[in-house]
Amino acid sequence: MKLRPVKKEEHRFTEEFVREIFKHTAYSDGLLEKALVREIREKHYYIPQLDLVVEDDGMIIGHFMLSKLPISHKHENEVLMLSPVSVAIHQQRQGVGKYMLPKGIKLAAGMGFKGVIVEGDHRYYQRFGFRTSTEFGIHASKKNLPPSPENLMALELCEDGLEHISGEVDYSIYQALTR
């Protein structure tokens, strides 16, 4: 497996890849996640070096994005959002996520970011060091509450990286997440 940034000519493919993965979940048809990928790429929060794919034998089998995320309209150059995370259906539960996420997180830390926010299955993301975001004084906006508080998680990328960062995660900066 090899982790690398997405090439511009792969944008359409990765959007469809994300849609295809999420349409097989119980909670989505994949259109929201596809729209989110496109919208992130169109906004100033986008970081091309952190729009990443995993290849195996020349085929893309995983994709995820880390993009700038303001907390209470501040800290956008310090905190990242991890979303969406996609692994090819035939490759799920075979270590692709375990391979790609730590490498991407290490890249983000090397770029000087202080923390990452993710909304998802806390049982999955805890293995990468994520903790419930409220432990850091970071909470969900009332406009977009997660299914439960433990689904909004944070990870410090350096020692005490989130110590002076607190406030509200408001996804309304993305139209795709407010539908």
Our CA dihedral for 17, 124, 160, 49, rounded to 10 degrees, sits at -10
**Per-residue model confidence (pLDDT) at position 178:** 80
Residue 56's DSSP bridge partners are 59
Between β-strands 115-119 and 152-156, what pairing exists: parallel, antiparallel or unpaired?
Answer: antiparallel
| Vertex 27 angle, CA 22 and 29, to 5° | 45
| Domain ranges, ordered by start, for the chain | 2-177
pTM above 0.75, yes or no: yes
Place of tokens 């850091």: 136
The string of pLDDT tens digits covering residues 18-65 is 999 999 888 899 999 999 999 999 999 999 999 999 999 999 999 999
The string of pLDDT tens digits covering residues 57-112 is 999 999 999 999 999 999 999 999 999 999 999 999 999 999 999 999 999 999 99
Fold of 2-177: Aminopeptidase (3.40.630)
Looking at the chain, list the stretches that DSSP marks H as alpha helix, in order from N- to C-terminal side: 11-22, 31-42, 96-110, 122-125
Q: 27 by DSSP, 3-state: which?
A: coil
Per the document, the length of the chain is 179
> Which one-letter amino acid corresponds to residue 88?
A
Residue closest to 114 by CA, chosen among 83, 153, 68, 146: 68
Mean model confidence pLDDT for the chain: 96
**Per-residue model confidence (pLDDT) at position 132:** 97
* Exposure b/e, 147-162, CB count within 10 A at least 16 = b: eeebbbbbbbbeeebb
**Per-residue model confidence (pLDDT) at position 179:** 64
| Vertex 107 angle, CA 104 and 108, to 5° | 90
Which of the four pLDDT bands, split at 50, 70 and 90, describes residue 122?
A: very high
**What whole-number distance in Å separates Cα of residue 25 and Cα of residue 28?**
6
- Average pLDDT on 158-179 reads 92
